[in-house]
Structure 1
Amino acid sequence: MEDLKKAYLAGGCFWGMEDLFRTQKGIKDTEVGYIGGENQNPTYRNHPGHAEGIELTYDANETSFRDILDYFFRIHNPTTIDRQGNDIGSSYRSAIFIQNEEEKTVAEEVIEIVNASKKWEGKVATTLEPIAKFWEAEPEHQDYLVKYPNGYTCHFERFEESFLK
């Protein structure tokens, strides 16, 4: 029996994050959207303070929040502030939107492990932010890289090996 949970992450342009996460074990659904900002009903052209984020629905019997974060830290550069690749601004910040104390503890532990690995040149700058309303992005942004396989992305697996091993 499935034990479905959600995770909310931001790590640069949402298209690339969604495309990589969709194929991971235990991920049942992905949605891109806006989270953590100032306005109601944000849009691609008007989302002040919101990060381009991703809502992951996962089966906790097949994967864990810890494993999701491990992959998250391997597919984007968590050491840059408000930047991924050519994308610059707070919309492209690295953030984990925390839903409860357990997630906060896991996130802090994984960040310590990533920093201790010294795989990244700098320290993790990912923010831990309280969960906020997730606003689903416009339909043209959902599954973007499936619709446009040669579309823009700055996400790729930088490290094959897990930080957690």
Structure 2
Amino acid sequence: MEVATLGGGCFWCVEACYNMLRGVQSAISGYANGDTKDPSYKAVCSGTTGHAEVVQITYDPSVISYKEILEIFFTVHDPTTKDRQGNDVGTQYRSIICTHNDSQRAIAQQVIADISAQGLWPAPIVTQVEPLEIFYPAEDYHQDYYVQNPGQGYCRAVVAPKVAKFRQKFNRLIKP
């Protein structure tokens, strides 16, 4: 098994998609690369801790590659908006790839270059690529949030459309 750590705005959206993928053992919502030890959701949302909302994905590389994980990442969020996703604004919502080794860093940089060259986004990609310094799992109520709260307003308005787009584009990769 290998691990990828990605931040694409609200972790509920990212986690909901990755948990559906074949080869993904787990997708854990959490906080990465900040200055406060063991931060709370409230502290991270204040924008003062330096953490990004991320999802830590444990996956089987014989089933799904790191490159595929990243290609999905660049379709389930907008990598062209600095420190925001839609109405979620602040450094905690930044687009970030927290790499676990030099190979992941190189693949991330290549995927960004490829996507930029293809012109898939109308503006430049601003996704940060930096080594993972630390990861803290979010509070239990954030885990599997979309699955447990599909009727919640944010889930209906924001998460559900992203999940629908993901399902349509990557149906072949979804667990049976």
Greater alpha carbon shift after TM alignment, 46-55 vs 86-95 = 46-55
In structure 2, the residue matched to 1:79 is: 80
Deviation, 1:120, is 0.7
- Equivalent residue for 1:51? 52
1:100 aligns with 2:101: yes
Alignment of 1:105-144 (within 5 A): 105-144=106-145
Count the aligned residue pairs. Answer: 158
State the AA in 1 paired with 2:99. I
Query: Would you say the 8 A contact 2:24–2:58 is kept in 1?
Result: yes
Within 2, Cα distance between the matches of 1:25 and 1:69? 15
Fraction of identical pairs, as percent: 38
Aligned to 2:173: none
The worse-fitting range, judged by mean Cα deviation, of 116-125 and 68-77 is 116-125
Q: Report the equivalent of 1:11.
A: 8
- Within the candidate set 23, 30, 33, 2:27 is matched to 30
Task: Report deviation, 1:133.
Answer: 1.2
Q: Helix, strand or coil for the counterpart of 1:40? A: coil
Give the aligned partner of residue 169 of structure 2: 160
Once superposed, what is the RMSD of the aligned Cα atoms? 1.5
- CA offset at residue 24 of structure 1? 1.4
1:61-109 deviation line (CA, Å, top 9, x unaligned): 1011100000000110000100001100000000000111111110011
Would you tell me which structure has more helix in proportion to its own residues? 2
TM-score, normalised on structure 2?
0.86
Task: Note the alpha carbon deviations across 1:23-76, whole angstroms, 9 max, x for none.
Answer: 112111111000011100111011311001100000011011100000000110
Q: 1:136 offset after TM fit, Å? A: 0.6
Runs of 4+ in 1 over 4 A off after TM superposition: none
In the other structure, the counterpart of 2:18 is 21
CA separation in 2, counterparts of 1:119 and 1:101? Answer: 26
Separation in 2, partners of 1:30, 1:83: 21
Q: Using the alignment, how far apart are the partners of 2:126 and 2:75 within structure 1?
A: 14
Is 1:41 the counterpart of 2:38? The answer is: yes
Q: Which residue of 2 aligns with 1:70?
A: 71
Q: Which sections of structure 1, spanning at least 5 residues, go unmatched? A: none
Runs of at least 5 residues in structure 2 that lack an aligned partner in the other structure: 171-176
CA distance in 2, matches of 1:32, 1:160: 23
